C-alpha cells in the first residue's frame, strides 16, 4: 500500500513504463466474432466456472463483508456494436445497475471518456472512471462539503500532447474508409471494425507511425480498436486500488471486491483482485481466452442476470447483516 500512497502523493512523478518502440503483438480480428468451439469452451469453463452457476459459492465468501462492485462498460454492461457511439445499455441493465449501486459502492472503469460513459449510464449513484482509469470522478464519500465532484487525473500534463496526436491522427487516417477516431480525453481510440480487411494493416501502420517517435506514449489494442495512451504506470488495476483507498477500504480486512470486465485492459484489475485474494475477478467471454479471472459470464445478458441476483441476495441478507455500504 505504501507504493500506492507514494503514487497518490507524487501525481506527476510517473515514470515511462513502456516503450512504443517495442514490437507490438500482431493485431487480429475481433475474437468474439469467431464461431465458438463448444468442446474448447466447455473445457475452459472447468477453469473459469460460470459466476451464475457458482453464485452461492461466491456469495458465501461475502457474508459479513462489505461488497464493492467494479464494472467495465463496453462488452459488459452493453454489447459490442459496430458504431461505438451507439453502445447503449438496456433499460433493464440500467435498472439493475441502479439497484446494485443503492446497496453497494459501485464504480465503472472504462476506456471511454468519463463524460461519455456517464452519458451512456445516466446514473448518479455510480462512480465513473474514464480513459482506463486516468480520469476518475471522486466517489461521493470523498467529495467536498459543497458536493463538488472533482477528478483524479494522473496524466493531466499529457493533455496538450494528446490533443496534438489526435489532430495528426485525424489527418493521417481520414482517407481510410470505415475508420473513426474517438477522443476519450486521456486515451485516443482508433476504431477499425468497419474498415475493409485489406485496409486494416495499412491503418495500423499509420497509427503506429504517429507515436513511434514519442516515447511518452504507447499503443495498446482491444476489440477492433487501437489506442494511444500515455506511457505511465497506471492502469485499471491502479484505478481499482485508488477507488478502494478513496472509499476507505484499502486496509480493511472485511471487504470483498467484484470486478466484471471483458477486455484485455480489465486483466490488470483481475490481477490486483486475484493477488489480494479479497474478491472475485469475473471475465465476460463467449469463447476460451487467456485470463486471470477466476469466474466467467458469457455475455451482457448474463451480467444482467448476475447483477439482479446480487441485488436480490443482499435484500435477503438484510435481516442478518447490517452493513453500512456507503
Would you say residue 3 has pLDDT above 90? Answer: no
CA distances from 47 to 50, 286, 289 (A): 10, 14, 11
* pLDDT value of position 139: 66
Q: Per residue in 50-80, pLDDT tens?
A: 999 999 999 999 988 999 999 999 999 999 9
Higher pLDDT, 286 or 13: 286
| pLDDT tier for residue 323 given thresholds of 50, 70 and 90 | very low
Segment 258-273 shows an average pLDDT of: 96
Q: What are the structural domains of the chain?
A: 70-139+236-285 (3.40.50.1000), 158-230 (3.30.70.1020)
In this prediction the pTM is: 0.82
| pLDDT tier for residue 308 given thresholds of 50, 70 and 90 | very high
| pLDDT tier for residue 293 given thresholds of 50, 70 and 90 | very high
Q: Per residue in 173-198, pLDDT tens?
A: 988 999 999 999 999 999 999 999 99
Would you say residue 135 has pLDDT above 90? Answer: yes
Exposed, middle or buried by CB within 10 Å (0-12, 13-18, 19+), for 114? Answer: buried
Please give the grid coordinates belonging to residue 36. 465458438
Please answer whether residues 59 and 283 qualify as being in contact, where contact means their C-beta atoms are separated by less than 8 angstroms.
no
Please answer whether residues 172 and 179 qualify as being in contact, where contact means their C-beta atoms are separated by less than 8 angstroms.
no
Query: Among all chains, which residue has been given the C-alpha cell 490481477?
Result: 271
| Sheet bearing 295-297, strands edge to edge | 151-152, 135-137, 127-130, 106-109, 66-71, 255-261, 279-284, 295-297
| Sheet bearing 188-191, strands edge to edge | 180-183, 188-191, 225-230, 217-222
Which residues are within 8 A (CB) of 212 and not within 5 positions of it... i.e. 6 or more apart? 20, 21
* pLDDT value of position 63: 85
Count of CB atoms within 10 A of residue 78's CB? 20
Q: Per residue in 105-114, pLDDT tens?
A: 999 999 999 9
Percent pLDDT > 90 in the chain is: 70
Q: Is 238 a catalytic residue?
A: no
Which one of the listed residues 8, 29, 30, 72 is annotated catalytic? 72
* pLDDT value of position 35: 52
* pLDDT value of position 320: 52
Amino acid at each position: 500500500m505504501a507504493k500506492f500512497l507514494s503514487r497518490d502523493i507524487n501525481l506527476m512523478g510517473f515514470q515511462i513504463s513502456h516503450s512504443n518502440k517495442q514490437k507490438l503483438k500482431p493485431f487480429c480480428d475481433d475474437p468474439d466474432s469467431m464461431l465458438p468451439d463448444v468442446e474448447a469452451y466447455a473445457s475452459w469453463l472447468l477453469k473459469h466456472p460460470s459466476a451464475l452457476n457458482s453464485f452461492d459459492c461466491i456469495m458465501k465468501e461475502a457474508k459479513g463483508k462489505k461488497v464493492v462492485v467494479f464494472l467495465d462498460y463496453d462488452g459488459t454492461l452493453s454489447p459490442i456494436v459496430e458504431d461505438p457511439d451507439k453502445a447503449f445499455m438496456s433499460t433493464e441493465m440500467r435498472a439493475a445497475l441502479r439497484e446494485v449501486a443503492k446497496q453497494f459502492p459501485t464504480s465503472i472503469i472504462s476506456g471511454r471518456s468519463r463524460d461519455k460513459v456517464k452519458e451512456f449510464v445516466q446514473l448518479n449513484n455510480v462512480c465513473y472512471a474514464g480513459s482506463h482509469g486516468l480520469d476518475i470522478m471522486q466517489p461521493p464519500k470523498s467529495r467536498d462539503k459543497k458536493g463538488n465532484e472533482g477528478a483524479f487525473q494522473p496524466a493531466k500534463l499529457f493533455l496538450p500532447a494528446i490533443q496534438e496526436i489526435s489532430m495528426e491522427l485525424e489527418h493521417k487516417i481520414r482517407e481510410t474508409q470505415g475508420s473513426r477516431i474517438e477522443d476519450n480525453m486521456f486515451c485516443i481510440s482508433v476504431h477499425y471494425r468497419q474498415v475493409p480487411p485489406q485496409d486494416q494493416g495499412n491503418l495500423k501502420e499509420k497509427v503506429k507511425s504517429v507515436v513511434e517517435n514519442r516515447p511518452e506514449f504507447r499503443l495498446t489494442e482491444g476489440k477492433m480498436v487501437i489506442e494511444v495512451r500515455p506511457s505511465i504506470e497506471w492502469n485499471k488495476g491502479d484505478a481499482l486500488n485508488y477507488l478502494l483507498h478513496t472509499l476507505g477500504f484499502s486496509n480493511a480486512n472485511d471487504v470483498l471486491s467484484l470486478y466484471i470486465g471483458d477486455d484485455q485492459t480489465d486483466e490488470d484489475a483481475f490481477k490486483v483482485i486475484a493477488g489480494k485474494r479479497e474478491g472475485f475477478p469475473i471475465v465476460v467471454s463467449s469463447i476460451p481466452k487467456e485470463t486471470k479471472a477466476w469466474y466467467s459470464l458469457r455475455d451482457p445478458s448474463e451480467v444482467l442476470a448476475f447483477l439482479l441476483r446480487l441485488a436480490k441476495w443482499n435484500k435477503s441478507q438484510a435481516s442478518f447483516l447490517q452493513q453500512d455500504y456507503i
